[in-house]
């Protein structure tokens, strides 16, 4: 677990909202919430987007929201978005980010619910974004100092490395970890991406967001993180998601070419 950095004021008072999509994360969610609110970021908020989890994650999210009450200004520390169907990580993130922006967030973080993204890196992401003027700061497994869980076997390491090399070859983005899902966005950067028009529904959402930011000239900074293995539950990466992830880079390149031709 990283030791969180201590940010000076006014940085520590920034209005940061963490968006966490959930599906069958009943065991992990209470642990994640506890770790997030242990950070010295008094204006930190959480938006949980639950896709009608059959294991009761949505009900647990509602209880956590009630237990954690409100910030000093009256806004809830935790907001819960209940969706009626499981239609992909990308759509869940769009719903959560839209809610965060509507509620006045100045900075929006993306984080998985499975505890693979240690919340202790959040102050470092925020401090890096504010000090560099970046539009997005990416928690990267593949820059110097970044690392993967020792529980990842060789097959998973090779698959992850191959996926990054595959996407970078097709889209020519100067990012080491193009499939990263742990990041912090500046409000203006997110608004410039036109969230309602995002095409991806699965894990390729991460690639599409990076590509849109890159093509719009946003400053993108990577910092090293240690990527943990999921604590409980199972991966949501099914065959359909894998197929979409493989095809999406070609579609993104075509969309960009068509847009330039108009």
For 75-102, write each residue's pLDDT tens digit: 999 999 999 988 889 999 999 999 999 9
Q: Is residue 203 part of a domain?
A: yes
CA distance 177 to 205: 14
Q: Could you tell me what percent of the chain has a pLDDT over 90?
A: 68
User: In angstroms, what CA-CA distances link 213 with 44, 70, 208?
Assistant: 24, 33, 9
Average pLDDT of span 169-194: 93
Structural domain harbouring 118: 11-260
- pTM greater than 0.75: yes
Examine residue 175 and state whether it is found in any structural domain, yes or no.
Answer: yes
Please indicate, yes or no, if residue 204 is contained in any of the structural domains.
yes
Per residue in 97-126, pLDDT (tens digit) is: 999 999 999 999 999 999 999 999 999 999
| Strand spans (E) along the chain | 16-22, 45-50, 78-82, 107-110, 136-140, 147-148, 183-186, 220-224, 226-227
| Confidence band of 56 (pLDDT split at 50, 70, 90) | very high
Has residue 222 been placed in a domain?
A: yes
Domains of the chain: total: 1
Asked whether residue 243 carries a pLDDT value surpassing 50, the answer given is no
6 belongs to a structural domain = no
pLDDT > 70 fraction of the chain, expressed in percent and rounded: 87
CATH of residue 154's domain is 3.90.550.10
Say what the pLDDT of residue 87 is: 82
- Is the residue at 219 inside a domain? yes
Q: How confident is the model at residue 250 (pLDDT cuts 50, 70, 90)?
A: low
DSSP string, 204-230: HHHHHHHHHHHHTT--EEEEE-EEPPP
- pLDDT surpassing 90 at residue 161: no
Structure tokens at 234: 């199972």
Q: Is 1 contained in some domain? A: no
- Per-residue CA distances from 90 to 24, 57, 101, 113, 234 (Å): 17, 19, 16, 14, 18
Reply yes or no on whether the pLDDT at 236 is more than 80. Answer: no
Asked if the structure places residue 55 within a domain, the reply is yes
Q: What is the chain's mean pLDDT, rounded? A: 89
């Amino acid at each position: 677990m990283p030791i969180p950095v201590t940010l000076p004021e006014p940085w520590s008072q920034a209005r940061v909202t963490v968006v966490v999509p959930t599906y069958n994360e009943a065991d992990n969610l209470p642990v994640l919430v506890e770790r997030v609110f242990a950070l010295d970021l008094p204006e930190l908020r959480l938006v949980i987007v639950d896709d009608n989890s059959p294991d009761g994650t949505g009900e647990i999210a509602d209880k956590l929201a009630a237990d954690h009450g409100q910030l000093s200004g009256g806004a809830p520390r935790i907001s819960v978005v209940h969706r009626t169907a499981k239609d992909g990580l990308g759509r869940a993130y769009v719903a959560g980010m839209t809610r965060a922006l509507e509620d006045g967030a100045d900075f929006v973080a993306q984080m998985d619910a499975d505890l693979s993204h240690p919340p202790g890196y959040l102050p470092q992401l925020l401090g890096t974004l504010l000090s560099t003027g970046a539009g997005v700061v990416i928690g990267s497994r593949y820059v110097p100092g970044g690392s993967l869980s020792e529980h990842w076997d060789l097959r998973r390491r090779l698959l992850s490395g191959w996926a990054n090399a595959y996407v970078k070859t097709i889209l020519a983005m100067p990012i080491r970890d193009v499939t990263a899902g742990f990041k912090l966005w500046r409000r203006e950067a997110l608004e410039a991406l036109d969230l309602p028009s995002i095409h991806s529904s699965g894990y390729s959402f991460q690639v599409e967001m990076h590509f849109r930011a890159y093509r719009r000239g946003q400053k993108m900074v990577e910092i090293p993180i240690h990527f943990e293995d999921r604590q409980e539950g199972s991966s949501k990466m099914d065959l359909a998601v894998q197929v979409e992830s493989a095809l999406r880079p070609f579609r993104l390149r075509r969309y960009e070419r068509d847009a330039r031709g108009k």
